[in-house]
Amino acid sequence: MTVTPGGPEDPRNPEAAARAIEVPEPAGGWGSMQGIAATELSQKAGPGALETLAHLNKPDGTACTSCAWVKPPNPSAFEFCENGAKATLWDLTRERCTPDFFAQHTVTELRALSAYDLENEGRLTEPMRYDAATDRYIRTTWDEAFAAIGAQLRTIPPEAITFYASGKAALEPSYLYAAFARMLGHNNLPDSSNMCHETTSVGLKKVIGSPVGTCQLDDFEHCDAIFYLGQNPGTNSPRILHPLQQAVKRGCRIVAFNPLKEAGLVEFVNPQSPVQMLTGKATRLAHLYLQVRPGGDLAALMGVCKHVFARDTAARAAGEAPVLDDAFLAEHTHAFDAFRTKVDGTSWEALERASGVTRAEMEAAGQVYVEAKAVIGIYGMGLTQQVHGSEAIGMLVNLLLLRGNIGRKGAGCSPIRGHSNVQGQRTVGITEKVALAPVEKYREVLGLETPPQDGHNTAHFLEALLAGRNRAYVGLGGNLAMAVPDHERVHPTWRNMDLTVHIATRLNHTHLLPGKQSWILPCLVRSEEDIQASGNQFVSVEDSFSHIYSSMGRRKPASEHLLSETAILCELAKATLPFNPRWLWDEWRGDYARIRDLIARTYPDQFADMDRRMHEPGGFFRGNDARRRVWKTDSGKAEFTDPSVLNAGGDTSPEGALRLVTLRSNDQFNTTIYGHSDRLRGLSGERTIALISPVEIARLGLAEGQRITLVTAIEPETRRAVEGLKVVAYDLPAGTIAGYFPELNPLVPLGLREKLSDTPASKGVPVLVEA
Ligand SMILES: Nc1nc2c(c(=O)[nH]1)N[C@H]1C(S)=C(S)[C@@H](COP(=O)(O)OP(=O)(O)OC[C@H]3O[C@@H](n4cnc5c(=O)[nH]c(N)nc54)[C@H](O)[C@@H]3O)O[C@H]1N2
Ligand SMILES: Nc1nc2c(c(=O)[nH]1)N[C@H]1C(S)=C(S)[C@@H](COP(=O)(O)OP(=O)(O)OC[C@H]3O[C@@H](n4cnc5c(=O)[nH]c(N)nc54)[C@H](O)[C@@H]3O)O[C@H]1N2
Ligand SMILES: [Mo]
């Protein structure tokens, strides 16, 4: 499309912008409230579950297990969203997956069921042991399980043992899990973060010295613009829509970057607002929507910077106030000149080609930036799951730095984390990197010597697995075998392990790839009471804004046989490790305040007095150096990044290949599939689909509804294909194809990963279509 500045297609023209953001259905609104009451999920959970919903995310209530968005100090009457409700009702189902169910089916038979069918069996109720002779999981006792697992773990070399964590378990079990691994002698502590925001942990840290976001909730009350990249709030963190809506009402302008027109970003009906509910009147959210190609953010943001430089040059020439914050750049940043030279030397044509958006769009976005006093940059998987994701984050930071938009009111960089405690798990020691482990404090507090070798992240775990070097796997939640890339290569080798142990709430396909010995250890969910020697226990979690707050479950457990994650880990550690008078597993299990005391002593700067402070409304803030403009980077300043590529997916792609983006629907939580609708995208019915733009459908000679095969276009020595995908016409940029995670994971090569962090590049897989 050619855009005449100011003309009907110029995105600066409000009518053009409005036309550009028509979508099927607003996020929130009647759909979600009605949804909750009438759903099958709600029926299956029973009336008591609705009471749990009313306590979600309230001070001393239950922290929602869905996403990591903040729990505000002054919560609304219903401080949860459609998907938080789904996650909670899913946990509280009355369906039970009992030993009888396992007796009726071999593991081979169960493997043929869908993810939906497996989890739909309901909550796991008793510990189960795999019996290879009958290919069945059979009932066992906790005592037998702990003794056998402990005995086997002692015989396996520590470097061949991996402890995975999925991001939900609270700080108390997470702290013990990380310590347990090290007591055993390894740092093999991959985390779901390795497939998610590891790009942030490494890439953001590199440029601003902080591995987590710098914003706080009240910044949303003071920003004038929000650059919103590659995150789908309507589906994945709906509660963020409230502050976004408030911001827009104040006049804040949102500039969205996304290959898909995501309903949540376009408009929003506040389910808490009776007037909006009655009138169905939505707030338009995005002021501009840049439909970049996958990986195109890097170039688009560079174009935004180019416009900022142009405006600055013009302002200075006219004797007006400069646009750049010269004082901030001089005092707080490093390598600005190299970056500016790169931008000046990059043509608009090159930026248009790499980004998939027009110069006019980039300039319009740049103008929003220039006119805003305070800007927040928000991002999610669209940036992190790219081969050069760190550079894309670096480019967002470049833009923010130009006008000092980090470390002051209303401004900052705000990655939106996934699992409800994924950030916290990293904070309390779940990391494969020795440099990030509290080595000195472990020695002082636990008498623990941290093993000196770095351990496996998720990618390295898979490589060790493929090479036959990893012999035992313990999973603290999650469904790792399905969440990872390259299923066809990984799954057969998974079964070669000597030991697989799953601490889980529901049955999933990872459990159905048993090692020679395999155990399923069923645990409580966060909304259930956790009675130990000192009574019902609080746990604590950390949100995307680095606030730590308490959570307590109040529902009766799904089965009398369930143990908490903390109890399971204490018993397992006791059964595995030699006796040590400083390792007080029984005391820790009996009173989680004792574990918080360990956390506070291990991380005194951030967690002092946590047992009291976690009860403060909104939790306590553990601080953020970059927010105070203390830059813990190599240069001691905020770093400008001079990008090595213009598209974060890499500049080259095989001839004729399309870029595949793997997505979440509104009706799933990662590999947990609640149903087959994707309401906010106007899709429903099935998940084996390929979204392709009408232009591309025509170019490829396809027809809507036709079944196609997608084949990975790189690393051709291994054929990676997914068959039977239904072609669905969808508004996407040229050269882009989209479909669902985890169904399309067999197409993602293990080798295709982010350069600095090893995060799989799940949003930019070169694929070819076979009709
Ligand atoms: N209901 C629900 N909530 C969840 C989850 C869930 O599965 N279901 N998962 C949780 C977890 S673990 C996580 S990490 C978060 C994930 O939340 P998000 O970060 O929102 O992750 P995705 O849904 O994978 O996709 C992100 C968005 O990136 C866009 N995108 C893809 N490629 C690009 C690109 O190159 N550039 C740009 N700008 N955008 C791109 C996609 O169109 C999509 O809108 O959500 C958490 N919350
Ligand atoms: N292609 C592609 N692949 C991706 C992604 C993508 O966007 N595209 N996203 C990646 C991302 S961001 C992530 S975070 C990973 C997710 O990877 P994981 O975190 O490993 O996967 P989940 O689907 O969240 O795990 C679901 C399982 O966790 C268990 N579970 C649920 N609740 C609890 C609990 O409270 N305690 C315990 N112990 N167990 C529980 C249940 O058994 C359930 O079946 O996937 C990654 N993979
Ligand atoms: Mo995630």
SS (H, E, C) 371-426: HCCCEEEEECHHHHCCCCHHHHHHHHHHHHHHCCCCCCCCCEEEECCCCCCHHHHH
Nearest-CA residue for atom 18 of ligand 2: 478
Quick one: how far is CA 770 from the chain centroid? 31
Q: CA dist 713 to 638, 754, 755, 765, Å?
A: 38, 18, 19, 8
In this prediction, residue 401 carries a pLDDT of 98
Q: What angle do CA 443, 447, 451 make, to 5 degrees?
A: 65
Work out the percent of the chain whose per-residue pLDDT is above 90.
Answer: 79
> What is the C-alpha separation between 731 and 728, in angstroms, rounded?
10
Tell whether ligand 2 has an atom less than 6 A from the beta carbon of residue 481.
no
> Looking at per-residue confidence, does 263 or 345 come out higher?
345
In the reported structure, the alpha carbon of residue 480 is separated from the centroid of ligand 2 by a whole-number distance in angstroms of 7
Mutate to test the pocket of ligand 1, among 381, 671, 679 (most ligand atoms within 8 A of CB): 381
Six-digit token pair at 42?
A: 């709600």
76: helix, strand or coil: coil
- CB count within 10 Å of CB 136 equals 20
C-beta separation of 417 from 230 below 8 A? no
**Ligand nearest 299 Cα, by number?**
1
Average pLDDT over residues 438-459: 98
Q: 500-559: per-residue pLDDT in tens?
A: 999 999 999 999 999 999 999 999 999 999 999 999 999 999 998 999 999 999 999 999
Pairing of strands 136-139, 283-284: unpaired
In the reported structure, the alpha carbon of residue 203 is separated from the centroid of ligand 1 by a whole-number distance in angstroms of 18
Residues with CB under 6 A from ligand 1: 66-67, 83, 196, 229-232, 235-237, 257-260, 262, 292, 294-295, 297, 380-382, 418-419, 661, 663-664, 668-670, 763
Nearest-CA residue for atom 45 of ligand 2: 483
Six-digit token pair at 129?
A: 């042991």
At the top level of CATH, which class does the domain 658-770 belong to? mainly beta
Query: Residue 93: is its pLDDT beyond 50?
Result: yes
352: helix, strand or coil: helix
Helices of type H across 552-660: 565-576, 585-590, 592-602, 604-607, 610-613
Query: Residue 258: is its pLDDT beyond 90?
Result: yes
In this prediction, residue 3 carries a pLDDT of 37
Task: Provide the CB-side half-sphere exposure for 562 (13 A, CA).
Answer: 25
Q: Which residues contact 386 (CB under 8 A, 6 or more apart)?
A: 199, 294, 295, 392, 648, 649, 754, 761, 763, 764
In this prediction, residue 527 carries a pLDDT of 93
Q: Which residues contact 716 (CB under 8 A, 6 or more apart)?
A: none
Six-digit token pair at 46?
A: 């029973």
Dmax (CA) of the chain: 84
Q: Can you give the length of the chain in residues?
A: 771
Domain with CATH 3.40.50.740 in the chain: 97-196+421-616
Nearest-CA residue for atom 36 of ligand 2: 477
Q: 472-509: per-residue pLDDT in tens?
A: 999 999 999 999 999 999 999 999 999 999 999 999 99
Residue with tokens 């005194």: 604
Query: Residue 186: is its pLDDT beyond 90?
Result: yes
Q: Choose the weakest-confidence range: 12-16, 621-625, 699-703.
A: 12-16
Q: Give the residue among 278, 259, 266 at the shortest CA–CA distance from 27.
A: 266
> What is the C-alpha separation between 378 and 230, in angstroms, rounded?
8
C-beta separation of 87 from 669 below 8 A? yes
47-50, long-range: CB within 8 Å, 24+ apart, which pairs? 48/92, 48/555, 49/88, 49/89, 49/92, 49/555
Torsion of the alpha carbons at 45, 46, 51 and 57, rounded to the nearest 10: 10
For residue 621, the one-letter residue type is: F
In the reported structure, the alpha carbon of residue 236 is separated from the centroid of ligand 3 by a whole-number distance in angstroms of 10
Q: 12-55: per-residue pLDDT in tens?
A: 343 433 333 333 344 543 344 455 666 777 778 877 777 787 77
Tell whether ligand 2 has an atom less than 6 A from the beta carbon of residue 551.
no
Q: 68-79: per-residue pLDDT in tens?
A: 888 877 777 667
Tell whether ligand 2 has an atom less than 6 A from the beta carbon of residue 186.
no
Work out the percent of the chain whose per-residue pLDDT is above 70.
Answer: 93
Domain with CATH 2.40.40.20 in the chain: 658-770
Fold of domain 97-196+421-616: Rossmann fold (3.40.50)
In the reported structure, the alpha carbon of residue 432 is separated from the centroid of ligand 3 by a whole-number distance in angstroms of 18
Residue with tokens 């609705």: 50
What are φ and ψ of residue 60, in 5° steps?
Answer: 60, 15
> What is the C-alpha separation between 68 and 58, in angstroms, rounded?
14
Fold of domain 210-416: Dimethylsulfoxide Reductase; domain 2 (3.40.228)
Q: What angle do CA 382, 385, 390 make, to 5 degrees?
A: 95
Mutate to test the pocket of ligand 2, among 113, 114, 124, 166 (most ligand atoms within 8 A of CB): 166
Six-digit token pair at 85?
A: 């409700």
In this prediction, residue 21 carries a pLDDT of 30
Q: Give the residue among 212, 238, 222, 191 at the shortest CA–CA distance from 69.
A: 238
Six-digit token pair at 100?
A: 């009888």
Question: What's the helix, strand, coil split of the chain in %, to 5?
Answer: 40, 20, 40
250: helix, strand or coil: helix
Average pLDDT over residues 323-330: 98
Mutate to test the pocket of ligand 2, among 86, 195, 555 (most ligand atoms within 8 A of CB): 195
C-beta separation of 140 from 129 below 8 A? yes
- Atom number of ligand 1 nearest to Cα 262: 44
In the reported structure, the alpha carbon of residue 713 is separated from the centroid of ligand 3 by a whole-number distance in angstroms of 26
Classify burial at 524, counting beta carbons within 10 Å of its beta carbon; exposed 0-12, middle 13-18, buried 19 or more: buried
91: helix, strand or coil: helix
Q: What angle do CA 18, 23, 25 make, to 5 degrees?
A: 125
In this prediction, residue 68 carries a pLDDT of 81
C-beta separation of 26 from 680 below 8 A? no
Q: 341-359: per-residue pLDDT in tens?
A: 999 999 999 999 999 999 9
Tell whether ligand 2 has an atom less than 6 A from the beta carbon of residue 505.
yes
Nearest-CA residue for atom 31 of ligand 1: 382
Query: Residue 272: is its pLDDT beyond 60?
Result: no
Average pLDDT over residues 627-638: 97
> What is the C-alpha separation between 331 and 8, in angstroms, rounded?
43
Nearest-CA residue for atom 20 of ligand 2: 478
Q: Choose the weakest-confidence range: 329-333, 377-381, 387-391, 549-553.
A: 549-553
Tell whether ligand 2 has an atom less than 6 A from the beta carbon of residue 419.
yes
In this prediction, residue 653 carries a pLDDT of 80
- Atom number of ligand 1 nearest to Cα 197: 14
Helices of type H across 476-590: 480-483, 487-494, 565-576, 585-590
Q: Which residues contact 441 (CB under 8 A, 6 or more apart)?
A: 601, 602, 603
Classify burial at 195, counting beta carbons within 10 Å of its beta carbon; exposed 0-12, middle 13-18, buried 19 or more: buried
Six-digit token pair at 217?
A: 């909730």
> What is the C-alpha separation between 333 and 197, in angstroms, rounded?
24
Nearest-CA residue for atom 40 of ligand 1: 382
In the reported structure, the alpha carbon of residue 484 is separated from the centroid of ligand 2 by a whole-number distance in angstroms of 10
Query: Residue 1: is its pLDDT beyond 50?
Result: no
- Atom number of ligand 2 nearest to Cα 197: 12
439: helix, strand or coil: helix
Domain with CATH 3.40.228.10 in the chain: 210-416
What are φ and ψ of residue 33, in 5° steps?
Answer: -65, -50
> What is the C-alpha separation between 58 and 549, in angstroms, rounded?
10
For residue 43, the one-letter residue type is: Q
- Atom number of ligand 1 nearest to Cα 87: 1
338: helix, strand or coil: helix
> What is the C-alpha separation between 376 and 372, in angstroms, rounded?
10
In this prediction, residue 268 carries a pLDDT of 66
Q: Give the residue among 281, 283, 207, 202 at the shortest CA–CA distance from 242.
A: 283
- Is cis: bond before 742, omega within 30 of 0? yes
Tell whether ligand 2 has an atom less than 6 A from the beta carbon of residue 192.
yes
pLDDT mean across residues, the chain: 91
